[in-house]
Amino acid sequence: AAETLKIGWTTSDSPNDPYAIGAHAFAEALEEAAPGRFDIRFFPSRQLGDEKEMLEGLKFGVLDMAIITNAVIANVEPAFMVNDLPFLYADEDQAHHVLDGPVGQGLLARLEGDKIVGLGFMEGGFRHMINNVRPVSQPADVAGVKFRVMQNPVFISMFSALGGNAVPMAWGEVFTAVQQGTIDGLEIPVPVIAAAKYDEVTHYLSLTRHTYSAIALLMAQRTFKKLSDDDEAAIRTAASKAVDLQRSRVAAVQQALVSELESRGMAVNVVENTKPFRQAVTPVYDEFRDRIGAETMDAVLEATQ
Amino acid sequence: MSPLRSGIAAVDGLSGLLARLTVVVAVTMTGVMVASLVLQIVFRYGLGQALTWSEELALFLFTWIVLLVGSLGVREGFHVRLTLLHDYLPGWLRLPLDLVLGLLVLGFGLVLLTSGSDYVTETLGQVSAAVGYPIEALHLAAPVSGGLVVVHALASLLNGSAFRTAVPPVEELSDG
Amino acid sequence: MGEVGWVLSLGFLVLLVLGMPIAFALGVTAVAALWVADIDLVVLAQRMIAGTQTFSLLAVPCFILAGELMQVGGLSKRLVGVARAFVRHLTGGLGMVTVLSATFFAAISGSAPATTAAIGGLMIPEMEKSGYRRDFSAALATAAGPIGQMIPPSIPMIIWGVLAEESISRLFLAGILPGILIAAGLMGVCYVAARRAGLQRESRRSTARELASAIYDGRWALGAPVLILGGIYGGIFTPTEAAAVGVVYGLVVGLLFYRELRLSDLPGIVIRSMRTSAMVLFIIAAASAFGWLVAIEQLPEQAAALLLRVSDNPVVILLMVNLLLLLIGAVMDNIAAMILLGGVLTSLGAEIGMDPTQLGALVVINFAIGMATPPFGYALFVGAAVSKLGVEAVSKALWPFLLVEIGVLMLVTFVPDVTLAIPRWFLG
Ligand code: NA
Ligand code: NA
Ligand 2 centre distance from Cα of residue C379 (Å): 8
- Answer yes or no: do A43 and C165 touch at CB < 8 A: no
- Answer yes or no: do B44 and A146 touch at CB < 8 A: yes
Question: Closest to C237 (Cβ–Cβ): which among A61, A179, A182?
Answer: A182
Measured between CB atoms, does C13 come within 8 Å of chain B? no
3-state SS assignment for residue A60:
helix
Q: Which of B116, B165, B124, B140 is nearest to B60 (CA)?
A: B140
- Answer yes or no: do A170 and C43 touch at CB < 8 A: no
Instruction: Examine residue C278 and state whether it is found in any structural domain, yes or no.
Output: yes
- Answer yes or no: do A169 and B55 touch at CB < 8 A: yes
> In what helix (H) or strand (E) does residue A120 lie, and over which residues does it extend?
strand A116-131
**For the range B30-36, what are the long-range contacts, defined as Cβ-Cβ under 8 Å and sequence gap of 24 or more?**
B30/B61, B30/B65, B30/C61, B30/C65, B30/C270, B30/C273, B30/C274, B31/C270, B32/B57, B32/B61, B33/B57, B33/B58, B33/B61, B33/B62, B33/B65, B33/C58, B33/C61, B34/C62, B34/C65, B34/C244, B34/C247, B34/C248, B36/B61
Task: Tell me the β-bridge partners of A69.
Answer: A215
Characterize C13-50 residue by residue with b for buried, 16 or more Cβ atoms within 10 angstroms of its Cβ, and e for exposed: eebbebbbbbbbbbbbbbbbbbebbebbbbbbbbbbbb
- Answer yes or no: do A146 and B123 touch at CB < 8 A: no
Using a CB-CB cut-off of 8 Å, the residues of chain B touching C154 are 176
Task: Tell me the β-bridge partners of A3.
Answer: A38
Distance CA C311, CA C248 (A): 51
Q: What is the DSSP string of A143-183?
A: TT-EEEE-S-HHHHHHHHHTT-EEEE--HHHHHHHHHHTSS
Output the pLDDT for position B167.
Answer: 38
Distance CA A39, CA A1 (A): 9
What are residue A209's phi and psi, to 5 degrees?
50, 40
Measured between CB atoms, does C24 come within 8 Å of chain B? yes
Measured between CB atoms, does A133 come within 8 Å of chain B? no
- Answer yes or no: do C117 and B65 touch at CB < 8 A: no
| Chain B residues 105-134 with CB within 8 Å of chain C | 105, 107-108, 111-112, 114-116, 118-119, 122
Nearest listed ligand to the Cα of residue C112: 1
Instruction: Examine residue C77 and state whether it is found in any structural domain, yes or no.
Output: yes
Q: Tell me if C414 sits within 8 A of C169, measured CB to CB.
A: no
> Please, which chains are in contact with B (at least 3 CB pairs closer than 8 A)?
A, C
- How many Å lie between the alpha carbon of B83 and the closest alpha carbon of chain C? 5
**pLDDT for C109-128, tens place per residue?**
888 888 998 888 889 988 99
Question: Closest to B123 (Cβ–Cβ): which among A56, A151, A166?
Answer: A56
Using a CB-CB cut-off of 8 Å, the residues of chain C touching B163 are 19, 21
Using a CB-CB cut-off of 8 Å, the residues of chain A touching B129 are 52, 71-72, 75, 150-152
Nearest listed ligand to the Cα of residue C373: 2
3-state SS assignment for residue B34:
helix
C174 Cβ neighbours under 8 A, 6+ residues apart: C357, C358, C360, C361, C419, C420, C422, C423
Q: Which of A34, A33, A54 is nearest to A43 (CA)?
A: A54
Instruction: Examine residue C5 and state whether it is found in any structural domain, yes or no.
Output: no
**Cβ atoms within 10 Å of C248's Cβ, excluding its own:** 18
> In what helix (H) or strand (E) does residue A116 lie, and over which residues does it extend?
strand A116-131
pTM of the predicted structure, to 2 decimals:
0.91
Instruction: Examine residue C207 and state whether it is found in any structural domain, yes or no.
Output: yes
Instruction: Examine residue C95 and state whether it is found in any structural domain, yes or no.
Output: yes
- Answer yes or no: do B55 and A156 touch at CB < 8 A: no
C314-331 vs C391-414: helix crossing angle, rounded to 10: 160
Distance CA B47, CA B57 (A): 20
Q: Tell me if C153 sits within 8 A of C239, measured CB to CB.
A: yes
Distance CA C108, CA A232 (A): 59
Question: Closest to B50 (Cβ–Cβ): which among A56, A76, A165?
Answer: A165
Domain around C192: 40-427
- Answer yes or no: do B127 and A75 touch at CB < 8 A: yes
Q: Tell me if A182 sits within 8 A of C237, measured CB to CB.
A: yes
Q: Sign of the C-alpha dihedral, residues C269, B145, A152, A66? A: negative
Report residues of chain B scoring pLDDT below 50.
165-176
Distance CA B45, CA B40 (A): 9
- How many Å lie between the alpha carbon of B130 and the closest alpha carbon of chain A? 4
Indicate which of A10, A51, A69, A75 best probes the interface with B, i.e. most B CBs within 10 Å of its own CB.
A75
- Answer yes or no: do A48 and C168 touch at CB < 8 A: no
Ligand 1 centre distance from Cα of residue C110 (Å): 4
Q: Tell me if A72 sits within 8 A of B123, measured CB to CB.
A: no
Distance CA C103, CA C107 (A): 7
Ligand 1 centre distance from Cα of residue C277 (Å): 16
Average pLDDT for runs of 10 along chain A of length 305: 92 90 98 96 89 96 96 96 96 96 96 97 96 96 90 88 84 80 92 86 96 97 96 97 98 94 95 93 95 94 89
Measured between CB atoms, does A95 come within 8 Å of chain B? no
Q: What is the DSSP string of C259-301?
A: ----GGGHHHHHHHHHHHHHHHHHHHHHHHHHHHHHHHTTHHH
What does the DSSP 8-state code read for residue B134?
Answer: B
Q: Which of A190, A181, A232 is nearest to A208 (CA)?
A: A190
Output the pLDDT for position C202.
Answer: 73
Q: Tell me if C83 sits within 8 A of C90, measured CB to CB.
A: no
Distance CA C240, CA C314 (A): 35
Nearest listed ligand to the Cα of residue C171: 1
Q: Tell me if A244 sits within 8 A of A28, measured CB to CB.
A: no
Output the pLDDT for position B1.
Answer: 66
Residues in chain A: 305
- Answer yes or no: do C58 and B33 touch at CB < 8 A: yes
What are residue A89's phi and psi, to 5 degrees?
-90, 130
User: How far, in whole angstroms, is CA C149 from its chain's centroid?
Assistant: 3
Task: Tell me the β-bridge partners of A127.
Answer: A189, A211
- How many Å lie between the alpha carbon of B125 and the closest alpha carbon of chain C? 16
Q: Is residue A82 classed exposed, middle or buried when 0-12, 13-18 and 19+ CB atoms within 10 A define those classes?
A: buried
A263, amino acid identity:
S
What are residue A185's phi and psi, to 5 degrees?
-175, -170
Using a CB-CB cut-off of 8 Å, the residues of chain B touching C245 are 38, 41
Distance CA A177, CA C170 (A): 12
Output the pLDDT for position B162.
Answer: 65
User: How many folded domains does chain C comprise?
Assistant: 1
Ligand 2 centre distance from Cα of residue C324 (Å): 12
Residue in chain C lying closest to A180 (CA): C235
Question: Closest to B66 (Cβ–Cβ): which among C19, C52, C241?
Answer: C52
Using a CB-CB cut-off of 8 Å, the residues of chain A touching B49 are 165
| Chain A residues 162-191 with CB within 8 Å of chain C | 169-170, 172-173, 175-177, 179-182
Distance CA A165, CA A37 (A): 51
Q: Which of C388, C365, C378 is nearest to C138 (CA)?
A: C388
Q: Sign of the C-alpha dihedral, residues C96, C101, C107, C113? A: negative
Torsion angle, alpha carbons of B77, B79, B83, B86, to 10: -50
Output the pLDDT for position B173.
Answer: 40
Could you give the C-alpha distances from B43 to A48, A133, A220, B36, C127, in angstroms and in order?
Answer: 35, 20, 43, 10, 48
- How many Å lie between the alpha carbon of B105 and the closest alpha carbon of chain C? 6
Measured between CB atoms, does A146 come within 8 Å of chain B? yes
Q: Look up the ipTM and state it.
A: 0.93
Ligand 1 centre distance from Cα of residue C172 (Å): 9
- How many Å lie between the alpha carbon of A60 and the closest alpha carbon of chain B? 8
What does the DSSP 8-state code read for residue C89?
Answer: T
Going residue by residue through chain C, which has 428 residues, state the pLDDT in tens, using 9 for 90 and above.
789 999 998 999 899 889 899 899 999 999 999 999 999 999 999 999 999 998 878 888 998 899 889 889 999 889 999 999 999 899 999 999 999 999 998 998 888 888 998 888 889 988 998 889 999 999 999 999 999 999 999 989 988 988 888 888 899 999 999 999 999 999 999 999 999 988 878 788 999 999 999 999 999 999 998 998 888 888 888 888 999 999 999 999 999 999 999 999 999 999 999 998 898 889 889 988 998 998 898 887 787 788 788 888 888 988 988 988 888 888 777 777 887 788 888 888 888 889 999 999 999 999 899 889 987 788 898 898 888 888 889 999 999 999 999 999 999 999 999 999 999 998 77
Question: Closest to C42 (Cβ–Cβ): which among A45, A60, A170?
Answer: A60
